[in-house]
A and B are shown apart, each in its own frame.
Chain A
Amino acid sequence: MSLIKIEKLTKSYLEASGKLEVLQGVDLEVFTGDTIAITGESGSGKSTLLHMMGMLDDYDSGKIYYSDKLIDLNYNKLNEFRNKSIGFVFQSHYLLEDFTAEENVAMPMFINTKDFKKSLIKARELLKALDLDNRKDHYPNELSGGEQQRVAVARALINSPQIILADEPTGNLDVKHSEELINMLIELNKTKKHTFVIATHNLEIAAKMQKCFELANGVLKEVTK
């Protein structure tokens, strides 16, 4: 059984110059433990596809199944579903400025369980696993770019989601930190069986993933390595 199954997903935007078809019947199947890269040029619709998979944005037509269950933006427990099932890592870290690293990591679990103590313990464990335990009390502006993004990854992992959607996670990092982050994600996939879908235009990163797809002209095609 696939973890996520996308069928004939379409999305278009109305622009001054006319209708822009971003996705034209995209099909994709993701299985537990997969690491998938979605590549494509800037503006090809990678982020749009990821946002739709993450139930952050609506689509024109098509269907998205999570473990064979049809989910859309009208799902009445969408917030809870997103909280428990999906982890997000964005190009920017989007950490909450007024909260320390460990509080940022704990936030999704705190929203889910309402148990701050338990959430904080789990957040510390994750930060330790990601070699950030000495930075747990620091505010985001006191962390380096690489550290900020690792904290964002820890936040995405805290509720042990079924899938982690990463949109250009290395976009704001230098080469060294990019490599460290990607290696960390691969390691997490190997050791914890986390499923990752990563949107990137970096082909080197894409090459490290188990499967690679290219999005061009609104159509998603698997790229044979």
Chain B
Amino acid sequence: MIKIILFFLKKYINSPKKEWLRFDSVFMILGIIISVATLTIALSIFEGYETVLKDTILSVNSHVYFYNSEVGNLQNEDVELIQEKLQNKSEVVSSSALIISQVIAAKGNRIKGSIVRGINWEQDDLPNKYRESIWEGSWKLDKENSAVIGFRLAKELNITIGDEFKLISTMNSKMTPMGLKPKESTFTVVGLYKSGMYEYDTKFIYIDIRDMAEFNSMQNEFTMVEVKLKPEMIEKADYLAYLWQHEFDYKYQITSWIDFNSNLFTLLKMEKWVIFIILSFLILIASFNVVSSISTSILEKRMELGILKAYGATDKLLQNIFVSKTLILALLAVSIGQVLGVLIAKFLSWQRFFVLKGDVYFLDKINVQFGITSWLIILGVSIVIVFFASLIPIKNISRLNITNIIRKA
């Protein structure tokens, strides 16, 4: 049967009448193209957003974090123990201790709540992408009280490289005759930092870990040890954290980047599939054109169908020919729709007329990514919908009465 179907398909494509360019066929193709393109745009933007958000989060944060399991900080001996044990693990690339604190950054009358991270900036295999994220200036924090700050924070404080600003911490307030006096230090901006994540770029300040210890009065104490994993282990960070928890006898609280952001990524995934389901209805609507196009075609070709039936062609063969013709057109339309969708999505990511609100969406730029999984899912869903739509009108083939056709022709 396949041979006959292929023969008919070949004739259909090469037919001098170009039946597939008929008005109803063209509308059927256009309907599928537009609906698939819309679905592709939505999914590629969602996928791009998810990927870039993940990359951005991972560029600032490492993958696994060790905290003290009780209230308080990690001591020097804890850090040594953790790093010694992690050194032998094949999944681990590097680890580093750091101090994190909430502060107020101030310049003149401008103030802004910030998060300051004291890091071992000299460490070549630093677990985060601190060095790669420097937008302007230097990553070296070699001068005393030098700082790298987020470029948006710099804008808000109206400072740039070479300017001084103050860090104020209420955690280390001193009692004075005038009342509680917060700890205050002056830092000089040596570099501007750009991660692409709105929240990080408006809040983060990087300083040398020794300056941080001095500022926070935390000698030989650290907020956490962050760990960088090998790329293939990044998605399994939560599982590793769970294993290590047991390995370290529950002495430390070990979490992963997945635990920290699981709500966000679960929400994103759910939104992506909700959008996918809603937009799939567009393909369903487009498939109404499939029903009408096949019905018209059967009506137009009833004489030929009648004669083929008279000469022994079974209903199943004729139905398969119609379904195959429709599926070929649908495949063509879906492919064009996907390419068109990706092109439009690329254009949206390239244009600058419309930008995302960074404070709402974390990122201010539309990013586009279209993976093989999405490609296959859209193709599969579209073809399945078209296939089931085509089954409705082809039932009419078996109802065609040969003698009626011959009499009326």
* Interface 0/1 of A131-174, CB less than 8 Å to B: 00000000100000000000000010000000000000000000
Segment at the A interface, from B3-11, B113-121, B216-224, B280-288: B3-11
Contact A47/B407 with A80-B312, A82-B312, A88-B310 known, Cβ cut-off 8 Å: yes
| In the assembled complex, B406 has its CB within 8 A of some CB on chain A | yes
The answer to whether A57 and B11 have CB atoms under 8 Å apart is no
From 22 to 62 in chain A, residues with beta carbon under 8 angstroms from any chain B beta carbon are 47-48, 51, 54, 56-57
B403 and A83 within 8 A (CB): no
Q: Are A139 and B312 in contact, CB atoms less than 8 angstroms apart?
A: no
Interface size class of A (residues with CB under 8 A): 20 to 34
Q: Is B276 an interface residue (CB 8 A)?
A: no
Which B residues touch A79, using CB under 8 A? 309, 312-314
B409 CB within 8 Å of chain A: yes
State A110–B10 Cα separation when bound (angstroms). Answer: 15
Q: Which of B1, B16, B303, B310 has the largest count of A CB atoms less than 10 A from its CB?
A: B310
Tell me whether A90 and B17 are in contact (CB under 8 A): no
Q: Which chain A residues lie closer than 8 Å to B314 at the CB level?
A: 79
Q: Evaluate whether A110 and B11 lie within 8 angstroms (CB atoms) in the complex, with A79-B314, A98-B16 already known.
A: no
Type the 1/0 row for B1-40, where 1 means its CB is closer than 8 Å to any CB of A: 1011001000110011101000000000000000000000
Q: Any chain A CB within 8 A of the CB of B80?
A: no
Q: Cβ of A223 < 8 Å from any Cβ of B?
A: no
Complex: A174 Cα to B66 Cα, angstroms = 99
Say whether A218 faces chain B, with CB atoms less than 8 Å apart.
no
Q: Given the complex, which residues of B lie within 8 Å of A84, measured CB to CB?
A: 312
Q: How far is the CA of A79 from the CA of B316 in the complex (A)?
A: 11
Check A83–B312 contact: CB distance below 8 A: yes
Say yes or no for A96: interface residue by CB 8 A criterion. yes
Residue of B nearest to A114 (CB): B3
Q: Are A92 and B4 in contact (CB under 8 A)?
A: no
Task: Given A54-B310, A79-B313, check contact A94 B406 (CB 8 Å).
Answer: yes
Give the 9 A-B residue pairs with the shortest CB-CB distance, closest first: A83-B312, A108-B311, A57-B403, A94-B307, A98-B15, A56-B402, A79-B312, A51-B403, A79-B314
Give 10 A-B pairs besides A80-B312, A111-B312, A112-B312 with Cβ atoms closer than 8 angstroms: A47-B407, A51-B402, A51-B406, A56-B310, A56-B402, A94-B304, A103-B11, A111-B311, A111-B313, A114-B1
Q: What are 14 of the A-B contact pairs (CB < 8 Å)?
A: A57-B401, A57-B403, A79-B313, A80-B312, A84-B312, A92-B409, A98-B12, A99-B11, A107-B311, A110-B7, A111-B312, A111-B317, A114-B4, A139-B16
